[in-house]
Structures are given as structure tokens and as C-alpha cells.
Amino acid sequence: MIKDNKITEGNIFKALIKLALPIMGTSFVQMAYNMIDMIWIGRIGSKASAAVGTAGFFTWMGMSIIILSKVGAEVGVSQSIGKNDIEAAKKYIRNTIQLNIILGIIYGCFLILFRKNLIGFFNLGNSDVVNMAVSYLIIIAIGINFYFINPVFTGIFNGYGDSKTPFIINTIGLITNIILDPILIFGIGPIPKMGVKGAAIATITAQFIVTLTFIYNIRSKKELFSNLNIFKLPDIDYIKRILKLSVPVAIQNALFCFFSMMLARIISHWGHIPIAVQKVGSQIEAISWMTAGGFSTALSAFVGQNYGAQKWKRIYKGYFTAIKIVSVIGIAASCLLIFGARPIFSIFIPEEEAIKYGVVYLKILGLSQFFMCIEITTAGAFNGLGKTIPPSFISILFTGLRVPAALILSSENLLGLNGVWWSISLTSVIKGIILTTWFVIFIRKYMKQKLGDVLF
């Protein structure tokens, strides 16, 4: 029932933890798809890792398109549930699913038609890497709709206050991927060795299983999905609302990916090994930003429902409770990356030269983990209020500055390749400080207008 999923009453810490833990688990499951792929692909060699990492930029870019429907689902459903408006929640669900399916088809066709041009952008300089990257990209593009729809189903359930179900379903997909990866990459019995193609097939097959499981599970959520006709013409008013919520976040994610692609192009000046190091290193670093992302999504749902119920004191307390939690996580992540860099990185690529580069990457990025965690969590609070522009603006501005900063710091007279890593780390620190300060000033000012001088 709806009342069982509302988070507008009760202990705030328990509500956030109960909601965040499954979301964090889901985030780690989604991250684990890529990590499992990279662990097995790394056994083939750094060329294969560079190929998958390069093609992976376009699945990442796809996330900005997914966000157009996912954020609308999370925020729209959560605020509707907070208002006890189940019909509005259903309309958000139907329209976000319709939008997602259409965008998935268009993006998949785009990747297939322009595959060579897209991979050629990186100037990889190695035909083997290029060919593997193109092969991987084609297979992912064919199954991209399964990759697209699952985060939207996850967002709908999270906004409803049920984060446990998506965690279980996505875990089923991860187990499928874990089983298929070594079989399809290296071959077994009558199944031939397929290398990077096998990794792509394993990922898409796992995503297909997740989609089927979500569809099966929907039958138990009749209050949300009853009479859901996705073949009905979209509601233009709701599409506009969804896009108003989602477009700033989608632009932020798209530009974040684009700026990362520009950094990868700069890094390619040092060869394919640093490209592989960046891909693997970012997957390791994802331990902290995926954890923070779990709390960000939980806080977004929490704030969304309480905003719908107009419970401002609860929003205020919930934000600072979440920040305290992720601060501990950020500090722990810094210690892990700085002091455990070598043993952690060597799990993914056993080549000594790659490990040497990877250790430096992790130590430099380790310094910014705390600030990255509070930035991501604060973005969730803004999103829950329906104010998606501030975090998007800060992210776009300072992530964009990484490119000129990397060009300057990586010059031979300064830091070389390490300058690229420092440009990423320093901008993360700045984003965390500015966005958190912005939200604290905003929420205090808004609460003073609503409630007067007394906050508690």
C-alpha cells in the first residue's frame, strides 16, 4: 500500500538508511557490471581494456538520455506520493516509460550508423583497439533499449519508496553477467572465445533478464501500474513537466561525459595504457561516488515526498543527517584509495606499467572523495525539491574547466600526465564546497520564509 512506502513520518535516520541501502546496493550492482567486465577483459590485455573503455563512453553518454525519463520518474512519482495523488504518479510512470522507449530506439540507431566516426574521435592510433571498440559498441547498441528501460523502472520504484525491489532485480542481472562473462569472453566447450564481443553480449543479456523480471514484478504493484497503456498517446503536459525536471540533469550528464571524452583524447597522447588506466581507475573510484549516489537518490525521494507533504523541518533535518553519513563514507574512500592503491588496481590489470600509472591516479583522486560525496548528495536534495538547475550549473561549469586545466597542467613544463588527474581532483573539491554552501544558504533562507526564525 502507498502508506507503507511513504517516508514523511518517523525516524529520519532509519528512513534514509532503509531507503538508501538498497539503492546503494543497486548502484554497486550496476557498477559491478562494468567492473566484472573490466576484470575479465583486463586478463586479455590493456588493448582490450582500452577498447571497452572507449566504447563505454557512449553507454555513459546514453545515461544522459536515460536521465530525461529517469529523473522525471523519481521526482514526479515521489512528489505525487507525498501529495497522495496516485493518478498523477501513474501519469508520470506512463509518460516516462514512453519517452524512454522512443529515445532508446533513436540512440541505438545513432550508435550503429555512426559507430566508426564515434570511435574515431579518440584518435586511438591502434587498429586492433579501434576494431574491438567498434565491435563492442555495435552489440551494445542492438540491446540498448534494455539498458535504457531498467534505470527508469528503478527510478519509479525508488520514488514510490520501494528501493528493495530494484536492488533484488538488478542483483539477478549481475549474477547473470558474472556467469556469462568468463564463458563468452574466453569460451568453454562448444562456445567459442569471443573476447570483447562476449563481454558486450553478456552485459546485454543480463539487462534483458532484468527487464523481464521488472515486468513480471510489476503485477504486484497494481496501485501504480494498473491500466497502464503505453500505446496511448503521450500526455504533452506531463512530458513538459518531466523535461523541465530532467533536462538540466541530462545536459549536465551529457557534458560531463563529453568533457571526459575530451580528457581521454588528451590522455591518448601518452598511449593506450593511460586510457585503460583512466577507465579502470574511474571504476574503482566509483566505489565512493556510487555510494554517495545511493544516498543522493534516497535523499531525493525523501525530500520529494516531504516537499509534497510540505514538511520543511523534516527536509532540513534529513539533509544534514545524509551529509553526516556520506562524510564518513567520503573520508573512508579517501583512505582506501590512497593507502590501498597498488593492491586494488592490480586486481584489474596485472601489467606492471599499467599498475604504476594506476597507483598515481588513485592517490591523486583519493584526495577529493569527501568533497565529491557531499556534492553528489547535495544534488539529490536539490533534485527532490524539483530544483535541478543549481547542481547542474555547478557541475557543468567546473567539470568543463577540467579540460583547459588539464591542457595547462599536463604540459611538459608542469606535471605531464599527472596534470590531467589533478585537474579532475581539484575541480571535485571546488564543486563540493560551492554546491553544499549554496544549498545550506538556500534551505535556511527558504525555511525562514516558510516557518520564521525557529528551525526546530
Residue written as grid cell 536534495? 381
Residue pair 270/354 in contact by the 8 Å Cβ criterion: no
Cell digits of residue 181? 562473462
Distance (Å, whole) CA 246 – CA 136: 29
Residue 170, C-beta contacts closer than 8 angstroms, at least 6 positions apart? 26, 29, 30, 150, 154, 210
Residue pair 97/230 in contact by the 8 Å Cβ criterion: yes
Element housing 34 (H / E): helix 12-42
Distance (Å, whole) CA 114 – CA 220: 41
Residue 353, C-beta contacts closer than 8 angstroms, at least 6 positions apart? 273
Distance (Å, whole) CA 217 – CA 219: 5
Cell digits of residue 311? 514538511
* Nearest CA among 396, 342, 335, 339 for reference residue 370: 335
The residue count of the chain comes to 456
Predicted TM-score (pTM) of the model is: 0.70
Would you kindly state where each structural domain of the chain is located, as residue ranges? 14-451
pLDDT in tens, the chain (456 residues): 444 555 677 788 888 888 778 877 777 776 676 677 777 877 777 778 778 878 877 887 788 788 888 888 888 888 888 778 888 888 888 888 898 999 999 999 999 999 888 888 877 777 888 888 899 999 999 999 998 999 889 888 888 878 888 889 988 988 898 899 889 988 887 888 888 899 889 989 999 999 999 988 887 777 777 777 777 888 888 888 888 888 888 888 788 778 887 888 888 778 777 877 877 777 777 778 778 888 888 888 888 888 877 888 888 888 999 999 999 989 998 998 899 888 888 877 777 888 888 888 889 998 999 999 999 999 989 988 888 889 989 988 998 999 999 989 988 778 888 898 999 999 999 999 999 999 999 888 877 776 665 444
Distance (Å, whole) CA 399 – CA 244: 22
